[in-house]
Chain A
Amino acid sequence: MNCQTARENAEAYLAKELSEPLLSEIQEHLTHCLECRQMYEDTSRLIENLRKLPPQIELKSILEALMLENIARKEPKPMKTHRYSIIAAAAATLLFILSSTLLAFPALAQKYTPSLPIAQDLNKLQDKTAALKSQAESYKTQAETYKTEVEALKVQIQKIDGTEIKVVETQSGLSPEDNTQIQSLALSFIKAQYKGDMAQLQAMTTPEFYATILKRKSEFIWTGRGGVIFSSITNVAQEKEGYVVFVRISDSSDDSEFQEDFTITKTATGFKIQDMGLDK
């Protein structure tokens, strides 16, 4: 170890970010090099003093009060809505409404036989959509389309890839095979997230999205959580950016319920997930 290398690593050493063997080599160097030891001590004191600066600066209370008052007058922007077609947007909204009504009572839902539209629930849905519609006066034309699409919606309990789940059907125009394949891909992705199965996640995703998963593992890998409870899924809609499907799930470790919004693309080796965003 020479003085030059010791000097270049001073910051990392003081931040305790060095690993072996460099760490021991520097420690060894510092025991016999007085000059470097002095430089390390100076730098350490300098860093300590730098860290002490912010607590010593205080905004004048009148300015701070003004600033906080300005914040108190602001309202947060609502979540950015995805630029999906009206039918996909309607399905996503309904998925949320459903989950807070019928889907909250699995025992009740189980009474309905598979593949039978749930009439009562649809009534509730239409009431809710009417309420939504009146809220959105500025979007009158849009609301009209919305209503037509909503009337075409059906809710069914289906078994996809061994998982029983409520499916919100939309007129997707996709072949039933592709639809099921994409839905099953989304469900497998969630299961792999909970298992932390990286190989499976890699096989299901585009290389770019897999790279994002690797980069932000804590956001995508949920092995520390409880078990997954599937609430509902939409039919697949075909959009400009690819196929989109929304899955609503909850976590057995707490009561939170949330939604995964998938964007899927067709590649030479089959369907691959190219993006997934969370909606609460």
Chain B
Amino acid sequence: MDEARLVAEAKKGSHFAYIQLVEHYQKSLYCTALSISGSSWDAFDILQDTLLQAFISLPTLKDPKTFKYWLTRILINKSYDQQRKTKHSYPMEHPPETPYEFHGNEEHLDLFNALNKLEDKYRVILSLRYFQDLPIKEMASILECSQGTVKSRLNYALKELRKVLGYKSFEEVIR
């Protein structure tokens, strides 16, 4: 995918170029929204709002190389907005089925469920790192904290995840 060219064309208003870009990123964005919100339908709303907002604001993006980072930032803001909204409103009736299909094996499903058992801040950090594939520096900027905090939170999140999945903890191992 020639991202720079697609971003430039989308910036000029090409829906076709934008949709190609979106198709490339939508799975990881949805997964990130899902792990932050914990609700599959909220995550769908977040994804949809993000992609619409990004298309409308694309002309303000200065450096096309930062597209992914910029898009992730919008997604995180939309996720927090959604969390605030759900806090103050009664949950909407959603169809019983999920808006997505999961094609992974059992190990992946266990991991997916384990992820949901972590605290919000650890789910966000793992999503940004492994779903969005962002460097520590950009994560620190999105989360408005130091790079040191990102690193230690990341290590802690992995440790918690290992614990939920029943891996022997470090402390148990060295005992």
Is chain A's binding surface mostly helix, strand, loop or mixed? helix
Q: Decide if A47 touches B31 in the complex (CB within 8 Å).
A: no
Interface size, A (range) = 35 or more
Q: Binary interface profile of A, 62-93, with partner B (CB < 8 Å = 1, else 0)?
A: 01100110111011111110000000000000
Q: Tell me how far the C-beta of A10 lies from the nearest C-beta in chain B, rounded to whole angstroms.
A: 7
Is chain B's binding surface mostly helix, strand, loop or mixed? helix
Which residues of chain B come closer than 8 Å to A107, judged between CB atoms? none
CB-nearest residue of chain A to B126: A50
CB-nearest residue of chain B to A4: B170
A-B residue pair count with CB separations less than 8 angstroms = 131
CB-nearest residue of chain A to B58: A76
Q: Decide if A46 touches B165 in the complex (CB within 8 Å).
A: yes
Question: B residues bordering A, Cβ < 8 Å?
Answer: 11, 13, 15, 18-19, 22, 26-28, 30-31, 34, 44, 47-48, 51-52, 55-60, 62-63, 65, 99-104, 107-108, 111-112, 115, 126, 130-131, 133, 136, 151-152, 154-155, 158, 161-162, 165, 167-168, 170, 173-174
Taken together as a complex, chains A and B put the C-alpha atoms of A67 and B30 apart, in Å, by 12
Q: Tell me how far the C-beta of A211 lies from the nearest C-beta in chain B, rounded to whole angstroms.
A: 14
Closest 9 CB pairs of A and B: A56-B104, A50-B130, A54-B31, A54-B28, A35-B173, A54-B27, A56-B103, A72-B15, A79-B59
Q: Given A11-B151, A11-B155, are A53 and B108 also a contact pair (CB < 8 Å)?
A: yes
Which residues of chain A come closer than 8 Å to B65, judged between CB atoms? 218
Q: Decide if B22 touches A47 in the complex (CB within 8 Å).
A: no
Which residues of chain B come closer than 8 Å to A3, judged between CB atoms? 170, 174
Task: Pick the residue among B59, B154, B168 that contacts A76 (CB under 8 A).
Answer: B59
Taken together as a complex, chains A and B put the C-alpha atoms of A209 and B101 apart, in Å, by 48
Which residues of chain B come closer than 8 Å to A240, judged between CB atoms? none
